[in-house]
Structures are given as structure tokens and as C-alpha cells.
Amino acid sequence: MAISAHPVTEPIAHHGEGPAWHPRWGGLRWVDMLAGDLLALDAQGRVRRRHAGSLAAVIRPRAGGGFLVAAERELLLADADDLHAPLRSLGEAWQDPSVRMNEGGCDPDGRFYIGSMAWDETPGKGSLYVAAPGGSLTVVLSGVGISNGLDFSPSGDRAYYADTLTGRVDVLDYDREHGLTARRPFVTVDRGKPDGLTVDAEGGVWVALFDGGAVHRYAPDGTLDAVVELPVRKVTAVTFGGDGLDRLFITTSAVGVDRAEQPLAGALFAADPGVRGRPVLETTL
């Protein structure tokens, strides 16, 4: 099934990423990652911007109110939902300046996971971590190239995860006691590279295709059953939003792009996918 997408904003991000919709926020938030900025879209289509630091990799809501931002090498917490609420650091996670945080997400029990990658994209230098209540990080997966999309099945017993350099989306088992285990291939992407992803209410896995100019939906058995085509090649991440969680929001990048050829690179797009998403998982940090 082919699905069309349309721009919601002008090309306002250099490298859009990490989107999430939450009703407390009154709409969508995402990041302009390499600018270190947080972006917010309200119900009237207006975009607000807030600078958070040298890099902003992902934004997620906190269960008790406020939000979390993954920065270059630290997690930042806001205690209020206002986009401009003060941010406090949980401390530097590592000292190696060649490695930075990238995409992340929460599990059904509120734990926050954050991935990393080398600035120069050296294979194997990244990891996937889980944050303890105080913010310290424990390695879940090592030897990662570019740690990217992470989301969970509606039942909460499976997680889908993309290491972009593998060209593959993997599936893992999940339970509260053991966390993520039994990593195995789910699908191999046949255009571009897998970037951010989200799972809908029916268990379909929507994968942004970086350098692929599209979003793919894979059924729980791995069958490709829907394609969202975009007029830009560097598609970075996806999430469901809107009051009914029935709109698919898609972030894009303008890094290294000739804007004469792709004038909408860096815009936020939306599509009507014909299926609903699920509320974004919140962190208990």
C-alpha cells in the first residue's frame, strides 16, 4: 500500500530527529540534533525552538511530569513540561569525546534506553545503554555502529531495534526482570538504511529509511505492507501523534543535501496511515 506524505513545516531543521507526541505538551516535540535545539509544534501549526546544548539527540516525556533530553554525553531532565523549563544534568556518562549519544526510548516499565555512536561513524564504537534511577548507564548491547530506533510491541514482550550500519531491524524479547534478551534479525532493509522507528497499535513496525526517501511498515511477521514516499532522501524518524494518534509524523535531515535538488530537506512531514499508534512510553527518571 502506497501512502503519501505532506510537509507540516518549512525546512526548519538541519537534522531533525527523536520525535514524540504527548498531550501534556499540546503537540509534537522533536530535536534539531546537531544544532542542539528542541522543537515544538502546537495545534495551530506554530513551531517553537529552544537551545539545549551542543547536541540534542532525543526528547521523551517523564512519567511524573517534565521531560528528558539526551545530549552529547549526558542526560538532561526538566521537572516541568514547559519547553523552556530549566534542565539539570545527571552527569557525564563517558569521557571519550569521539562518541556521542544518538537515538533512545523507554520500555514498558519506564526505564530509559539511550544509544551511542562514533562521531566519525566507526563501526563497533557505539553501545545501547539502559539508565538506572540515578541516571548511571549500563551497557545492554555493545559493538554497535549507529544505535538508532527502539520501540516495543503492543503486548510489551518484544522490542524492535535498529543499528543503522547493519542495514537491519532486529527484534528482542523483553520482560521486567531480564530486560532485553535474545536479539535476532527481524527484517533487512532494501532501500537506504534503517533509522528511527515506531510500532503501531496493531504491531506494525514503521521504519524511517535514511538515504531511502521513504518510511516502510512491516507487519509483525516481517512482511512489507505499506510504503510512505517522501520528496527528500534523508528520512530520520517517525512517531504517531494527533488527538487520536492517527497521524504519522516524520522527521528529515538536510545534512549534506543540495537544497536546490531537495528544497524540503529538514522539514517535518505527516501522513495519514490508516492505523493508530500507541501513547509514547514515558520514563520514570
Q: How far apart are CA 181 and CA 277, in angstroms?
A: 25
Backbone angles phi, psi at 62, to 5 degrees: -95, 145
Residues 212, 172 contacting (CB under 8 angstroms)? no
Decide if 190 is catalytic. Answer: no
CA distance 107 to 232: 31
Extended strands (E) in 33-178: 37-41, 47-51, 58-61, 67-70, 74-78, 88-92, 99-106, 112-118, 126-131, 137-144, 147-152, 158-163, 168-175
Angle among Cα 235, 241, 242 to the nearest 5 degrees reads 135
User: 48 near 61, Cβ under 8 Å?
Assistant: no
Q: Which of 195, 211, 243, 272 is catalytic?
A: 195
**Helices and strands per DSSP (H, E), number in the chain:** 0, 24
Please answer whether residues 268 and 228 qualify as being in contact, where contact means their C-beta atoms are separated by less than 8 angstroms.
no
| Distance, CA of 177 to CA of 201 (rounded, Å) | 24
Backbone φ and ψ for 186, nearest 5 degrees, come out as: -110, -60
Q: For residue 226, what is the enclosing H or E element?
A: strand 224-229
The residues carrying an active-site annotation are 195
